[in-house]
Structure 1
Amino acid sequence: MGRLSPLSQLVRPSAWKLEPEPSTFAPSSDWSNKDMDPVPLDKRTWTMFNYVAYWISDTANAATWALASSMLAIGLSWRQALPAIALGNIIMGTIMVLNGTIGARLHIAFPILNRSSFGFWLSYFSVISRVVLSLFWFGIQTFVGSECVYQMLKAIWPSIAHLPNHLSPNAHITTSGLICYFLYWLIQFPFLLVSPQKIRWLFLAKAIIVPPTWLALLIWALVKVPPSSGLLSQKAVLSGSELSWAWLGALNSALGNYATLGVNIPDFTRYAKNERAYANICAEVNPFNDTNQHSRRQYIQLIILPVGFTLASFVGIAATSAGIALYGQVLWDPLKLIDHWDNRAAAFFASFSFTLGTLSTNISANSLSAGNDMTALWPRYINIRRGQVICAFLGGWALCPWEILASATGFLSFMGGYTVFLGPITGIMVTDYWLVHRTHVDVPSMYRPHGRYRYTYGANWRAAAAMIVSVPLTLPGLINSINTNIHVGVGARLFDIAYLLGFTLASAVYFTLSRLFPAHETMLDHAILEQETLPDDGSYYGSDEKKDGSRVDEARAA
């Protein structure tokens, strides 16, 4: 039999098989690879300074601007929109610290951590849901980046605005827009190949370059249209119950802005040098240590998120208000606002700032998250880098983000829509680690399909019950937001509080069921982070698994 050609060898599954790390906790390469294993000491490179730079850089992006200014488009005033944004980010900041501390402490990714609360097999529901959301968000951010590229090219070559359009008006994108979409996709692709340990320097560059540009935009808005005749004179067009529900919808959208990262923040905090590099609000303070220094580290994440995002949102609202006075339109998309500028140099540098901001946000919040999740789905063949490449092709081209961003209402509906699932998932994870298991978890068992967290046939029925109770309540509103011709009555209102309702209800149900019907095999008196000397009869796991991950009954049969 002759040798296979290089192309034939490339399409064989064996050619893509990854080599597992010898230190893995998993019984075989079917269940883990080096990107899924706990981060080794030499790769824990993120310091507190890196996380501060990350959050500063992440506040200034087009999605934050669009979220805030689109609230004006649905009838809220800036006085009503800003409190909703601030409160939403205070809540999300608290959730980020609670969930992120777990990753900084255990150094494991979201798909692995989720197994301790949902069960080994049921956790795949959360992982697949997160993959789908990452693909959607990757496409949306890529489209936003293409608008940035368009404005940069227009500042250099104004004739691009007059290129013939060969696409239908119903496509919500033009020929020139599609060209810019492809160019931006090519620009960001090499960054998808950078390791998580090194990508932190991109966040530092963004934290230095982007905020001054936003400050300049704020000054432009206040100079062009003085607050007395612009921002301060704006009034809400809603009143009564409609105003109340619109405000709650805005709050839900503010939560939805980073609800995905609230779930999988361990994907990034796992690279922390130590637990104190990321905010740990639950650690005991040693009275003989520098308490003040610890307190500063303790609360920095809780401060920087609401303050940073609220200030960035205020810039978006102020500039959008100026656009209303100058151009007579609610230009909630910052790139559409720049499109009205006559100063080509200002348009180029502002667009470049948004290009850089969108690039780093898309990588950190979407492609890296998708890479982690896809690694958990097929660890024998997919690592983080390969997962990011798959995300680039599926999320970048298989979806149509320009349809979602076609209107302010559609944008807010999408932002709030996926919180139907993310709120309950996050609530269950936080409640399980901090309240049910009281931080005493077994990391090696999270890598074994027949380990301690197998629960009942691989599913924790308590988590399933919490999801079943909390998700259906908001589904009618989700359906109505997708198709307004389907009338669901008062059920549509619950969708306006989907995240808070799902988070609190799922947490309460899960905690109650875990107390009434505890999973005794998962209850420990201390956390297990490394492999310990274990008995071979499976008694350590509370199941029928041996130390090497094989089944006791299978070994006996052999």
Structure 2
Amino acid sequence: MSHIKHYLSTKADVRDRVTSVKAWQLPQPDSNFAPKGTWTNHDMEPVPPSEWSWTTSTFILYWMSDLVQGSTWSAIASLFSLGLTWWEGLLAIFFGGTALCIVVSANGLVGAMLHTPFAVTCRATYGYHFSKFCVISRMVIAWFWFSIQTYSGGLGVTQLILAMAPSYANFPNHLPASAGVTSQEFLSFFIFWLLQFPFCLVHPRRLRPIFLAKGILLPIVAVGTMGWAIHQAGDQAGPSLSAKSTLHGKAGFLAFMTAVSSQTGQWVTLACNVGDFSRYLKEPKSALAQILFVPAMWSITAMFGAIATCCLQAVYGEILYTPFQITQKWLDTGSSTGRFFAFVCSLAWILGYIGLNITANSISAANDSAALLPRYISIFRGQMIAVTVGVFAFAPWKVMSSASSIVSFAGSYGCVLAPMASVMAADYFFVKGRKIDVPALYDPHGIYYYAYGVNWRSVCALVIAIGPLIPGMGHALDTSFKIGDWQYLYACSVVYSMVSGALVHIVLSRLFPHEASLIEEAVYAHEVLAARSTALQLGQSDSLEQEEEKEDGARIAVVAV
């Protein structure tokens, strides 16, 4: 026990942390770039070359961890309510995914070049202080979806337990109807929360084994489930999959673009902070793999789910949106074989939700909170906040049972994050010309301070991109709020806001350039540190030569005497 005692808090430590905010203060590291008096922590510093551990395969596994999971499986089936066929839904996802991945790849390349987290990188675009608005926006949405996905994972735990103990279906309920959740549902939710908790302790640098396990298991389960569904449908599979489009003209355009925005809006958060992960890449070019791989994997997973849903609709006469509705059909057979496959598949989909929550929500929120309060919050503490406050504060069972409009509004918030991401990409490639002074990103009054810590050009770009979409966001929150023809613009919200935000920022930056931030040559952190090390070694060498000369002179003087 003696070798772990220094990791444990003493009674005095616990007492201090209960009674004093200062006791929670993190040790201030010797920052390589932050000026004296500016607080930072290790997780906000540029990633040193020794920690560039991610390769192209790691990045692909990361995206498989995000994309091959329950919500992607259900993506096309969720669009049937718009009147789209499965293949129209597939086209919407591929089109939206390709458009989004242009921005994702661009910002991924930025992170791989600068090796800084999103919260630091966006200072170059928005200014040292306004960047905090972007960080807070991303963090709160990450908390929200972390909560919702935890609840969804709890549904899988219910299936898992039912496969082992069918009597769990009769678990007594002791909660009132006003709670919005039964005792069984809350217990399953809590069990899933406990299962994912240890994974939230893993630092981003060490996530590869998790990506690998999920990347192997879930594709097998997805293909197997689709194959079973086709087999069950038999001769009915063909007619089920050959449905013709019934929407044309304005109605078809509205439904298609609504599908594009609703699906891309759920993933646009990663377009902002993909740099939180790409900063660990060994080679910047690895970030470009996203532009081909992500739309393909996204579309393939959604297609598997859509084919299975269409085939099983012909068999059961109902739309089975989620994988857990399918596992329930296996449990309903009462056979040991059905229970076995329900257990295995539920376990795989649970792992999928855990992987999604870690990569897309937990770590992202942790990076953001560490940047906002570096004096008190590290990535580890940020993950603990996300896994506790971020989950339970939103009471996801209440949100899912009685406030579906809030979920719609949170999804529509993608039209706020989309221009944030595209403006960042446009600023790096078309305004700054890929020339960023990384050390200056840590200086509160450096070249990226702009005016009062705000770059008004990027703010105007956001206002112009988001402003016309506010009526649509209001309609998402309250469907009784009529918006007329604004619905057509709102249907294109993600694409419109990304394109308009980027163009406005480029135009304003060309008309009213901020000369101080337009540098002649990029300054990278690792090059500065290498130059400092060389200079230090040369300085030490010069000192040694001077000492040797003094010693030689002293010896000569002694001999002369």
| CA positional deviation for 1:361 | 1.0
Question: Which residue number corresponds to residue 273 of structure 2?
Answer: 264
| CA positional deviation for 1:450 | 0.5
Question: Which residue number corresponds to residue 338 of structure 1?
Answer: 327
Structure 1 residues 380-529: aligned runs within 5 Å: 380-405=375-400, 413-414=408-409, 416-529=411-524
Q: Does 2:321 match 1:326?
A: no
Structure 1 residues 92-103: aligned runs within 5 Å: 92-103=100-111
Question: Which residue number corresponds to residue 244 of structure 1?
Answer: 253
Report the TM-score, using the length of structure 1 for normalisation: 0.87
Over 3 Å counting, the alpha-carbon distance change for 1:278 and 1:229 in structure 2 is closer
1:439–1:527 Cα contact (<8 Å) kept: yes
Distance in 1 (CA, whole Å) between partners of 2:475 and 2:255 is 15
Question: Which residue number corresponds to residue 291 of structure 1?
Answer: none
Deviations 1:22-81 (A, max 9, x none): 243112474421000001122111111211222223221111122222012332111210
| Structure with the greater alpha carbon radius of gyration | 2
Distance in 2 (CA, whole Å) between partners of 1:186 and 1:98 is 36
Distance in 2 (CA, whole Å) between partners of 1:239 and 1:31 is 58
Segment drifting more, 66-75 vs 139-148: 66-75
Letter paired with 2:163? A
2:67 to 47, 59, 66: 59
Question: Which residue number corresponds to residue 254 of structure 1?
Answer: 263
| CA positional deviation for 1:100 | 0.2
Q: Does 2:94 match 1:86?
A: yes
Report the TM-score, using the length of structure 2 for normalisation: 0.87
Distance in 1 (CA, whole Å) between partners of 2:295 and 2:352 is 18
2:282 to 262, 265, 273: 273
Distance in 1 (CA, whole Å) between partners of 2:276 and 2:420 is 16
Question: Across the two proteins, how many residue pairs are aligned to each other?
Answer: 511
Letter paired with 2:15? S
| CA positional deviation for 1:248 | 0.5
| CA positional deviation for 1:118 | 0.2
Unaligned runs of 5+ in 2: 1-9, 530-561
Deviations 1:528-552 (A, max 9, x none): 113869xxxxxxxxxxxxxxxxxxx
Question: Which residue number corresponds to residue 57 of structure 2?
Answer: 49
1:477–1:493 Cα contact (<8 Å) kept: no
1:259–1:423 Cα contact (<8 Å) kept: yes
Distance in 1 (CA, whole Å) between partners of 2:12 and 2:47 is 37
Q: Does 2:16 match 1:9?
A: yes
Q: Does 2:23 match 1:34?
A: no
Structure 1 residues 2-401: aligned runs within 5 Å: 5-11=12-18, 12-28=20-36, 30-168=38-176, 172-226=180-234, 228-229=237-238, 231-236=240-245, 238-279=247-288, 300-341=289-330, 342=333, 343-401=338-396
Deviations 1:278-333 (A, max 9, x none): 32xxxxxxxxxxxxxxxxxxxx3222111111110011111221332233222222
Distance in 2 (CA, whole Å) between partners of 1:376 and 1:515 is 30
Distance in 1 (CA, whole Å) between partners of 2:456 and 2:58 is 39
Distance in 2 (CA, whole Å) between partners of 1:19 and 1:177 is 41
| 3-state SS in 2 of match to 1:452 | coil
| 3-state SS in 1 of match to 2:329 | coil
| 3-state SS in 1 of match to 2:46 | coil
Over 3 Å counting, the alpha-carbon distance change for 1:403 and 1:494 in structure 2 is farther
Over 3 Å counting, the alpha-carbon distance change for 1:406 and 1:320 in structure 2 is farther
Segment drifting more, 392-401 vs 33-42: 392-401
2:409–2:473 Cα contact (<8 Å) kept: no
1:74–1:409 Cα contact (<8 Å) kept: no
Question: Which residue number corresponds to residue 537 of structure 1?
Answer: none
1:78–1:231 Cα contact (<8 Å) kept: no
Letter paired with 1:305? V
Distance in 1 (CA, whole Å) between partners of 2:390 and 2:11 is 33
Over the aligned positions, Cα root-mean-square deviation in angstroms equals 2.2
Question: Which residue number corresponds to residue 551 of structure 2?
Answer: none
Letter paired with 1:503? M
Unaligned runs of 5+ in 1: 280-299, 534-558
1:74–1:408 Cα contact (<8 Å) kept: no
Distance in 2 (CA, whole Å) between partners of 1:347 and 1:4 is 47
Determine what percentage of the aligned residue pairs are the same residue.
Answer: 36
2:107–2:271 Cα contact (<8 Å) kept: yes
Letter paired with 1:195? H
Over 3 Å counting, the alpha-carbon distance change for 1:398 and 1:150 in structure 2 is same
Distance in 2 (CA, whole Å) between partners of 1:448 and 1:190 is 35
| 3-state SS in 2 of match to 1:231 | helix
Over 3 Å counting, the alpha-carbon distance change for 1:384 and 1:26 in structure 2 is same
Letter paired with 1:258? W
Question: Which residue number corresponds to residue 548 of structure 2?
Answer: none
Letter paired with 1:269? S
Letter paired with 1:308? M
